[in-house]
Amino acid sequence: MIRGVRGATTISEDREEEIVSATTELLAEMIEANSLEAESVSNIWFTVTADIKAAFPAKATRQFQGWEYVPVMCAQEIPVPGSLPLCIRVMLTADIAGAQSEVKHIYLRKATRLRPDLSQTK
């Protein structure tokens, strides 16, 4: 069954190195927590808040060997007043055998406040 795996993280400064590093960390945790392999992933969507402009977070996908053929796309979040700044969000869709309730969504750094109801937040 195709399932969505959500994740989010934040950065402290709009710099390419920080964007790629934070996104790499987030993807690594999403991959490990859900035992994902590139061949089971249909695509990955990345969104960023309007204050992130230094780099595409999708660039982080290329840090993982074998993931170079996974389709990736970046977009900007709706600029809702009061939303979490410097935030990178991910929606990864993959063929996952388990139930929807077994999918492990990962929220790191200040993004944990987006979904405190999920036990996977750190």
Q: What are the tens digits of pLDDT across the range 57-106?
A: 999 998 898 999 999 999 999 999 989 999 999 999 999 988 888 899 99
Catalytic positions? 6, 62, 74, 77, 89, 107, 115
| pTM score, whole prediction | 0.90
Looking at per-residue pLDDT, the higher value among 23 and 120 belongs to: 23
> DSSP readout, 39-77?
GGEEEEEEEE-TT--S--GGGGGGGSTT-TTS-EEEEEP
| pLDDT score of 42 | 95
User: Does 121 map to a domain?
Assistant: no
Report the distance separating Cα 30 and Cα 63, nearest Å: 14
In the 8-state DSSP scheme, what is residue 57? G
Domain containing residue 95: 2-114
| pLDDT score of 118 | 65
Residue 122 reports pLDDT greater than 50: no
- CATH at 85: 3.30.1330.40
Residue 120 reports pLDDT greater than 60: no
Please return the burial class of 49, using the count of CB atoms within 10 Å of its CB with bins 0-12, 13-18 and 19+: buried
| pLDDT score of 112 | 83
User: Does 16 map to a domain?
Assistant: yes
Residue 117 reports pLDDT greater than 60: yes
Please count the structural domains in the chain: 1
Residue 113 reports pLDDT greater than 50: yes
